[in-house]
Amino acid sequence: MPTLDPSARPLQGVTVLDLSRVLAGPFCTMVLAQLGARVIKVERPGAGDDSRAFGPFKNGKSLYFSSINYDKETIALDLKQPADRAIFEDLLTISDVVVENFRPGTMEKLGYGWDTLHAKYPSLVYGAASGFGDSGPYSRRAAYDMVVQGMGGIMSMTGQPDSPPTRVGVSIGDLAAGLYLAIGLVAAIQKRSRGGGATKVDIAMLDCQLPLLESALAAFAALGEIAQPNGSRHPEIAPFQAYRTADAYVVIAAGNDHLFALMAQALGRPDMLENPNYKTNTLRHSNVDALEDDLEKTLRKRPTQDWLDALNAAGVPCGPVNNVSRLFQDPQVAARDMLVSIDDPVIGKLTVAGNPFKMSGVAEPSTRRAPPEVDGDRAAILALIGR
């Protein structure tokens, strides 16, 4: 790989050949693109990535697909046809990384399993994301996000007490796997550059749920405690939840006695500091229902913005419960360039999440490529392999 200038994005010069579809894999390769990698997406001819058919749509183009496939190039190849296989194999020779999220066994059936690829392309790093990974009794099962959210425990901890099962409102099964795969692949690239050779990184969506459960695993094993859903409340800390105001809700996170004292003053409730039930976090947590009633008695008298002003002035961690519309108006989001617009020939103005990697000396790219149509970069990609 080429040496880098201090102003370069860290994966500049890294080429990723991306067979992945829908979410976990494309989310991973979007992260790699944000870090500067060149991502070449390989799609099946015709329909392409399944998620091109997923709503919502604007002018017939999928916003689901578009949100995680900008800044990528794409070529359509049928990996069962000899001519297209030859192109694919030439692309493997110029790639540093191949990424896929098929069911385990699919790449082997195509003749592109890890053992085969590693023998023929010894410096190629291989990344796979699947529901259950390439070992274990469920390995060959398909899984979607909902299956993993249910099986992995996070749904059992999310929701209101006694409500029906509640999913995390985003596809955290896929997204967590995509992030773990990105970490593993960058680490593997780094290992290769230190002489350790190429590696296959095998990431299972189910596996990635377990580290997200924080102390719930240790608490069950050591104490027999089974974590339960608890609305907006933190399992151990109080006050640390969303409270009703005159017009909406306010989140207050007074994580220690000092912040609790600042909060009580800011809300004009110094009497709370004299209440023996609120002396320590342990006591406040034991009396969390009474504390909620007591706080809401005050908070319901004024609108959320008034309370945010008072609490922020006092240095108490707090915030609104923003929906997407309010998030678009947040000045911090704007200041951090976390909403980015791309001119798309079909959609018009496409708005996507910005790049969360803020790196010293590395400028944000001034333009971004629109999400491509199927086979949209064929000529440029073929030119890379002299065709």
Find the shortest distance in angstroms from Cβ 253 to a copy of itself: 4
Binding mask 278-297 for a copy of itself (x = CB under 8 A): --------------------
Partners of 75 in beta bridges: 42
Looking at the Cβ atoms of 23 and 381, the one nearer to a copy of itself is 23
Residue 365 touching a copy of itself (CB under 8 A): no
Query: Residue 258 catalytic?
Result: no
Contact (Cβ atoms closer than 8 angstroms) between residue 296 and residue 243: yes
Residue 328 touching a copy of itself (CB under 8 A): yes
CA distances to 67, 127, 281 from 51, rounded to whole Å, are 11, 20, 47
- Rounded to 5 degrees, what are φ and ψ at 379? -65, -45
Find the shortest distance in angstroms from Cβ 201 to a copy of itself: 6
Pick from 349, 326, 385: nearest CA to 70: 349
- What is the footprint of a copy of itself within residues 173-232 (CB under 8 A)? 175-176, 179-180, 182-184, 186-191, 193-197, 199-204, 206-208, 210-223, 225-227, 229-232
Binding mask 70-99 for a copy of itself (x = CB under 8 A): ------------------------------
Residue of 16, 35, 77, 370 that binds a copy of itself (CB under 8 A): 35
Region near a copy of itself per CB under 8 A, out of 41-49, 93-101, 154-162, 266-274: 154-162
Contact (Cβ atoms closer than 8 angstroms) between residue 287 and residue 277: yes
Looking at the Cβ atoms of 75 and 238, the one nearer to a copy of itself is 238
The structure tokens listed for 49 are 């990535």
Q: Which of 118, 234, 258, 285 is catalytic?
A: 234
Looking at the Cβ atoms of 204 and 264, the one nearer to a copy of itself is 204
Distance CA 292, CA 245 (A): 12
Residue of 97, 154, 295, 370 that binds a copy of itself (CB under 8 A): 154
Distance CA 289, CA 252 (A): 15
Partners of 200 in beta bridges: 126
Looking at the Cβ atoms of 19 and 154, the one nearer to a copy of itself is 154
Residue of 45, 78, 93, 146 that binds a copy of itself (CB under 8 A): 146
Residue of 90, 106, 121, 159 that binds a copy of itself (CB under 8 A): 159
Distance CA 177, CA 239 (A): 32
Partners of 38 in beta bridges: 15
How do beta strands 240-244 and 200-204 pair? unpaired
Residue 366 touching a copy of itself (CB under 8 A): no
Pick from 246, 252, 259, 251: nearest CA to 320: 251
Residue 324 touching a copy of itself (CB under 8 A): yes
Distance CA 160, CA 309 (A): 29
Which residues are known catalytic residues?
234
